[in-house]
Amino acid sequence: MRADPKAEVLRYLGHRGQAVEPELLSRIETAMAECRNVARPRRIWRRFTLVRDGSGLLLADAGLILPLNEVGDYLPDARELAVMAVTLGTEIEARIAREQYFDIAYALMLDAAATQLVDEVCNEAGEALCVQTTAEGLYPGSRFSPGYGSLPLELSADLLELLDAQRSIGLSCTDNYALTPRKSVTALIGLFDSAAQAPERDCSRCDMRHNCNYARI
Amino acid sequence: MNIRERLGKEIIIFDGAMGTMLQARGFGPGILPEVINLESPGVITDIHAAYVKAGAMVVTANTFGAGALKLRPAGQTPDKVVTAGIECAKKSGAQYVALDIGPLGQLMEPFGAIRFEEAYELFREQVVAGALAGADLILIETMSSLYEVKAALLAAKENSDLPVFCTMSFEADGRSFMGCDGVAAAVTLSGLGVDALGANCSLGPAALRPVVDELLRYGRVPVMVQPNAGIPEMRGGTAVYITTPAEFAVEMFDMVRAGVSIVGGCCGTTPEFVAAMKSALDGTLPQERHVQPYTACTCETGTVFFDRRTTVIGERLNPTGKRRLQEALRSGDMNYLLGEAVAQAEAGSDVLDLNVGLPELDEPVVLTRATKEVQAICQIPLQLDSADPAAIEAAARVYNGKPIINSVNGKQAVMDAIFPIAKKYGALVVCLTLDENGIPATAQARVEVLNKIVAEAAKYGIEPNDLLVDCLTLTASAQQDQVAETLRAIEIVRGMGMHTVLGVSNVSFGLPQREILNAAFLAAAFGAGLSAAIINPLSEKYRETVDAFRVITGEDRSAARYTERYAGQSAVTSKAVDADASLDDLIRQGRRDETAVKVRALLENMSGLDVIDSYIIPALSKVGERFEKGEIFLPQLMQAAQAAQSGFTVIRDRIVCSDQTGGGPKGKILLATVHGDIHDIGKNIVRLLLENYGYDVVDLGKDVPPSEIVKAVGEHGIRLVGLSALMTTTVGSMTDTIAATRTAGHDCSFIVGGAVMSERYRELVGADYYAKDAMEGIALAKRFFGTP
């Protein structure tokens, strides 16, 4: 089931059931609308056949090996792997940066709206992928990203390379693996022979679960 | 023959894709294509030779990704890879070999961590190697960022004599990934002295056509197009280009008919495409182009045309007569300046004048920093304003786009200093109509000074279109007869087909109710033909004059904007403060404007310090407590903090005006997001709250190297530092910063915070305190300084 976008934005803003004045709620809605207006969402994915290679999974045609101790939880028995990247572009980032010098409360709302939107764009990409693969009898598992659970942040650089992401969607990363533009995601989705094999997203396995604004526990 | 001599005289045909040809030969995505120059040079030469055979006059060396950042993972360096790439290309027998330069592989500031100066150095390595290896020209291509193009272009022109061609990539919406459109690209690159400009990659020829038309309309140099072979269709995980060579050639022929004179192909194109173009274009000569003259300045995401719009240039980024700004600049704090910049942009400025001239500042350094920081947050062009040519040059260099330089005048020494800078960086120049003999008394004499300036500019190849004329405003109280001379001069200059700019506020000096006179003079100047007014855009009177004039000229079609702004006027002006609401309520509810009004009212009867101690601080404390208890959440806390801040601003302005020192800050805290980390919203929240609680904050910004923090700690005598990091990969920068500060012998404590931080990480990086949120940071600061 898909969460209500506004509820998600409130959650990113740290809302935990407090009373919210109608004026504030309406500003949050304005921020969400403006974010959709300013952002230029772009997405790309590519599918790779997975080959078990000793203690890792080899992405055929790509020369990249994912160590099993990093991805084993998510990709046991996956037949293929979809590598995905999405970004909202630099415009929304510039907009948030400017707003911080005018109205930082509204800047926060824009920032949370952008976080929600990038997640939504990922979901849409995932759905489009699902339509494509289920027609072929392959079932997508949950989406998971570098920097969460056992997947190292450093993997982002390799994924961007595989997607030629700078050229295809204008997404790259810094030496410290920060995605630029900031409102972006890289992700892996395993494609399985049956829906039953596809593991669900599970925050309880993540190292960051106690410290995470986004945890679903 | 140097290819420069053939430009615009004949159609020049480049080659097609290298990557597509390599893939067809089995080189997959796991291999860095440029390394093949060293490992299998014969393959590369064969591909070039196939293009030469198909009719390419220029082949593009396989050096697209031969920059240090992209080569590093492969353990290679630009000099070796570039040299090998040029050699492979030369062996193909091509008439001309282009050194190919693609994007760096990472985003530049402000969105990424690569600084302009670093980008220049990275490109310089490629240029030097390519020129040495014998390239005939340089092709800078597939660029999404105008800023990156500028760094590459300067590196090319300053380190070689080779012709430089630049093409950018635009998406279907007509903009690059960084938001640059064909207009801003053409205007900016023409000014920067490229030999040819254009578009490549991303789209097929038909889809690129609208952008190409923009480039043709505004590009003052030959236009080049290298499209993809259409948009690829994904078939079984690989991209398949479906446009045929014949279809491609038809589209390219059409573009040549429209004025394009350099053609080639990008992704998906092969020698067959080049051959098809070659035969379609056989015997075709370049169309003569008539680029309409324009007067325009740009930033990455926009262009301001002085002939299309009554232009407002915001004047407030100037410390003259502004104590707050002077204080801020002296202490190295950019936040006040940035706040003023955004306020003016929000108020409808088209351009911002930027001046940081204070005698005790290193103006080139400060103007450079201010230029970068203002551009990071305001997507409108800047007018770089300084009396110091070194500051003008430094700022024009790092400016992203085509700036305005303010200013030159008829003095020979000033023209000698400024015009070379304007030419090199393609700037518009404000020309003051005065010279060694001062300001001429008559309009005609001012025009004579202008004629001298125009003639001198022509010696540098600067056209009158790139000059903005300031006919100078004199003071009505002292030289009343001269006021009308200015208006007459504007009329004459406009009649010469040039555009004028004017600061109006001088006219009312020494008279009461200055805005009345200023607004009338502004209206008269617009009537005389003024193109751009340098004014305070926050002034209601000026805005009214500008809005009204835009209706009169027909710029504001159907008076739509005018109606939108003024139809509800009565409601706006009667925005009275709820008389019964207490300051406490206003702050709690985050009502900024009303808080300011209420504080002003309270100041009638009590001192600023009393208002702070009796009203604002208690209100803030209540809000803070409620946040800590979880009764309100972050946006509510921040709205209240901003309301409180607007109250503080009223009081602080009062104190600055009356020259009191006030209560003095409770302590000085340095804040920074650590090196490598580019997230700063959290840090900015902490800054606002600390300032609310009376602390003096030195904010060094984001991605701050340890050395800068150590330096600032020493300079400001800092005892408490707050460091922010959002990512696990930048936590190490905290360790480095803390260690460096302590090694330097500074006795100061560190609070750390940010998304990834925890008590465990605090211990790991050697910090003294960990703050889980902003309010906890405040509590720690209070405890540290022993302040209430």
Question: What does the pLDDT look like over B479-518, one tens digit per residue?
Answer: 998 999 999 999 999 999 999 999 998 999 999 999 999 9
Does the pLDDT of residue B770 top 80, yes or no? Answer: yes
pLDDT > 90: percent of chain B? 84
Which of A179-193, B87-101, B663-677 is least confident?
B663-677
User: Averaged over B134-142, what is the pLDDT?
Assistant: 98
Distance from CA of B517 to the nearest CA of A (A): 30
Question: What does the pLDDT look like over B158-174, one tens digit per residue?
Answer: 999 999 999 999 999 99
- Confidence band, pLDDT 50/70/90 cuts, at residue A214: low
Tokens of B28: 């997959």
Note whether B153 and B164 are within 8 A (CB): yes
**Which of B109, B148, B636 to mutate against chain A (most A CBs within 10 Å)?**
B636
Contact A102 B342 (CB under 8 A): yes
Would you state the pLDDT for residue B581? 80
E strand map for chain A: 42-53, 56-59, 64-67, 80-87, 139-144, 172-173, 179-180, 184-192
Would you state the pLDDT for residue B577? 56
Would you state the pLDDT for residue B576? 53
Which residues have C-beta within 8 Å of that of residue B118, sequence separation ≥ 6? none
Interatomic CA distance for residues B223 and B213, integer angstroms = 10
Q: Helices B245-258 and B205-218 meet at what angle, rounded to 10?
A: 20
Would you state the pLDDT for residue B238? 66
Contact B105 A40 (CB under 8 A): no
Interface check for B633 against chain A (CB to CB < 8 A): the answer is: yes
Which residues have C-beta within 8 Å of that of residue B557, sequence separation ≥ 6? none
Neighbours of B285 (CB within 10 A): 12
Parallel/antiparallel/unpaired status of strands B196-200 and B223-226: parallel
Closest-CA residue to B262 (of B129, B172, B183, B163): B163
What does the CA dihedral B373, B374, B376, B382 come to, rounded to 10 degrees? -130
User: Which of A47, A63, A181 is nearest residue B111 as measured by Cβ atoms?
Assistant: A181
ipTM: 0.91
Does the pLDDT of residue B654 top 50, yes or no? Answer: yes
Does the pLDDT of residue B572 top 50, yes or no? Answer: no
Would you state the pLDDT for residue B470? 97
Contact B638 A104 (CB under 8 A): yes
Would you state the pLDDT for residue B574? 41
Does the pLDDT of residue A217 top 50, yes or no? Answer: no
Question: What does the pLDDT look like over B515-568, one tens digit per residue?
Answer: 999 999 999 999 999 999 999 999 999 999 999 999 999 999 999 999 999 987
**Which of B18, B23, B71, B107 to mutate against chain A (most A CBs within 10 Å)?**
B107
**Token match 């090319």: residue?**
B156
Would you state the pLDDT for residue A2? 63
B710: left (phi over 0), alpha (psi -120 to 50) or beta: alpha
- Confidence band, pLDDT 50/70/90 cuts, at residue B693: confident
The model carries a pTM of 0.93
User: Averaged over B357-371, what is the pLDDT?
Assistant: 96
Interatomic CA distance for residues B378 and A94, integer angstroms = 8
A18 chain-B contacts, CB cut-off 8 A: 630-633, 636
Contact A172 B112 (CB under 8 A): yes
Residues 640-679 of B with CB under 8 A from A: 641-642, 676-679
Which of B280-289, B526-535, B644-653 is least confident?
B644-653
Interatomic CA distance for residues B455 and B463, integer angstroms = 9
- Confidence band, pLDDT 50/70/90 cuts, at residue A58: confident
User: Averaged over A67-77, what is the pLDDT?
Assistant: 80
Does the pLDDT of residue B677 top 90, yes or no? Answer: no
pLDDT > 70: percent of chain B? 96
Tokens of B623: 């809000």
Interface check for B106 against chain A (CB to CB < 8 A): the answer is: yes
Would you state the pLDDT for residue B660? 45
Interface check for B244 against chain A (CB to CB < 8 A): the answer is: no
- Confidence band, pLDDT 50/70/90 cuts, at residue B26: confident
Does the pLDDT of residue B388 top 80, yes or no? Answer: yes
Contact B377 A98 (CB under 8 A): yes
Residues 746-765 of B with CB under 8 A from A: 755-756, 758
User: Which of A14, A98, A162 is nearest residue B378 as measured by Cβ atoms?
Assistant: A98
Q: Is the dihedral of CA A145, A146, A148, A149 positive or negative?
A: positive
A51 chain-B contacts, CB cut-off 8 A: none
Would you state the pLDDT for residue B123? 98
Interatomic CA distance for residues B601 and B614, integer angstroms = 15
Residues 261-280 of B with CB under 8 A from A: none
- Confidence band, pLDDT 50/70/90 cuts, at residue B245: very high
A28 chain-B contacts, CB cut-off 8 A: 635
Distance from CA of A158 to the nearest CA of B (A): 10
Mean pLDDT over each residue of chain B, to the nearest integer: 93
Closest-CA residue to B739 (of B757, B721, B727): B721
Would you state the pLDDT for residue A65? 85
Q: Is the dihedral of CA B84, B85, B88, B89 positive or negative?
A: negative
A84, β-bridge pairs: A45, A187
Which of A208-217, B235-244, B330-339, B644-653 is least confident?
A208-217
Interface check for B26 against chain A (CB to CB < 8 A): the answer is: no
- Confidence band, pLDDT 50/70/90 cuts, at residue B414: very high
User: Averaged over B703-708, what is the pLDDT?
Assistant: 93
Question: What does the pLDDT look like over A106-148, one tens digit per residue?
Answer: 999 999 999 999 999 999 999 999 888 988 999 998 898 998 8
Does the pLDDT of residue B573 top 80, yes or no? Answer: no
Structural element, H or E, at residue B253 = helix B245-258
Q: Which residue type occupies A15?
A: H
Contact A18 B589 (CB under 8 A): no
